[in-house]
Amino acid sequence: MQALFNPESAAFIRDPYRFYRALQLKQPYFRTDAGLYVLTREREVKAILSDRRFGRDFQGTTTGGPDVRIKNPAFRESALRNMSRWMLVLDPPDHPRIRGLVAKAFTARRVQDMRALVQRIVDEALTNLEGRMQIDVIRDFAYIIPQRVICELLGITESERPEFLANIDGLVRLLDPLPLSRAQMDYANRQDQALTAYFERLFERRRQNPLNDLTTKLVQAEEAGDKLTAEELAANMMLLFVAAFETTAHTIGNGLLALFRHPIELARLKADYGLMLGAVEEILRYDSAVQFTTRSALEETKLGDAPFKKAQVAVVVLAAANRDPAAYEDPDRFDITRKNIKLFTFGGGIHHCLGNQLARLEIELAIGGLLQRFPNLKLSNPEDPQFQKRIALRGLVTLPATL
């Protein structure tokens, strides 16, 4: 049965979707050797994301046992201790308290007000590509857009960004639903400590000199004393960057790869950029950067045919639900005019991604802008892409292209 779900195998990294389909057909409640349930069908994914019998329970405060990845329940690992304060892994009452504060920066109106900022960042990135024959779309473009947007939002200056960006990649691996090796954990701890020190300095500057940025707003809320502790403030600043940067960058890369692997759809888009918003939805559905999330049973219960013991963990495969034949006709077909797309890419329930509208805006302007500025763009080897060896996030290592 391990062949049905071995997310560390090279075959799975290359194309997880055929494995998801096998699970949907043969083992929709697949149980791993570690006792995790792997849920891949749309109906179970939809149900569990909004079911209050299931939560994140990262610290084990409800079930009595910490998240399955944490081998040290004393939380001596600084990165895991900080992660336990991320609103992404918290249940009520802490989750709505923190989310409600941060959500004010991501309302639909606020995001539309940011359109000019995102457009300027995209235009600058495209201008920097002019005159070059060859580029790596990931390194030279896809990473740059969300990185600069979130830095602008948080008020991280150009001179500070190298220090900040040098200490983020190890923390992304904390999102994988698998234990980290000792070396990976040590690396994440070092980065966590460096970022914590960086944010402490940034927060002090904002207390002394408030600006019109999200960092200032969060610092002011922390000083009010009833919204956010200093530790929660630093931890969720890290989360904002991890969530806003990597996922959007990978979606831009995955989306361009999908378009060039489907030249008819690419030609339709180039002929009518009015199709761009629909194309963004299909890109998000077809090859989601966010593949998994997890939920823990807060009580002994049952979901469909699967009995859950208290504290038992489910790996909820969002990307599989996005391609469930029960939800979509011909789900493995890439169609930028597909109707009635109901995404799980941004999760669901109380943990539905706060930044989903900002991510959509960045993807729309980045992909549309690149194709219009460089209409002769060609990917060098779209049939043999190299994906990163990660579990929760799916993204390309590199995407060589000629302009």
Query: Which sequence spans correspond to the domains of the chain?
Result: 2-402
- Homologous superfamily, domain 2-402: Cytochrome P450 (1.10.630.10)
At position 399, the amino acid (one-letter code) is L
Average pLDDT, the chain: 89
| Average pLDDT over every residue of 279-300 | 95
Q: What's the full length of the chain, in residues?
A: 403
Percent of the chain with pLDDT over 90: 58
pLDDT tens for residues 41-83? 999 999 999 999 999 887 766 666 555 444 444 445 788 888 8
In degrees, rounded to 5, the angle at the alpha carbon of residue 390 between the alpha carbons of residues 33 and 276 is: 125
pLDDT for residue 222: 67
3-class secondary structure, 257:
helix
pLDDT tens for residues 103-142? 877 888 888 889 999 999 999 999 999 999 999 999 999 9
User: Which has the minimum average pLDDT: 244-248, 250-254, 325-329?
Assistant: 244-248
What sign does the CA torsion over 53, 56, 60, 61 have? negative
Compute how many other C-beta atoms are within 10 angstroms of the C-beta atom of residue 228.
23
pLDDT band at 240 (very low <50, low <70, confident <90, very high): confident
Residue 100, pLDDT > 90, answer: no
Residue 226, pLDDT > 70, answer: no
pLDDT tens for residues 354-386? 999 999 999 999 999 999 999 999 999 899 999
Structure tokens at 337: 């005019």
| Integer Cα distance of 252 and 121 in angstroms | 15
Q: Measured between alpha carbons, how far apart are the two ends of the chain, in Å?
A: 45
pLDDT for residue 136: 97
Structure tokens at 331: 């789900």
Q: For residues 65 and 311, is the Cβ–Cβ distance under 8 A?
A: yes
Strand order in the sheet with 400-402: 134-136, 400-402, 378-379
Residues 19-32 as b or e (16 or more Cβ within 10 Å = b) = bbbebbeeebbbeb
Residue 348, pLDDT > 60, answer: yes
| Integer Cα distance of 331 and 344 in angstroms | 14
Residue 1, pLDDT > 80, answer: no
User: Which has the minimum average pLDDT: 12-21, 232-241, 295-304?
Assistant: 232-241
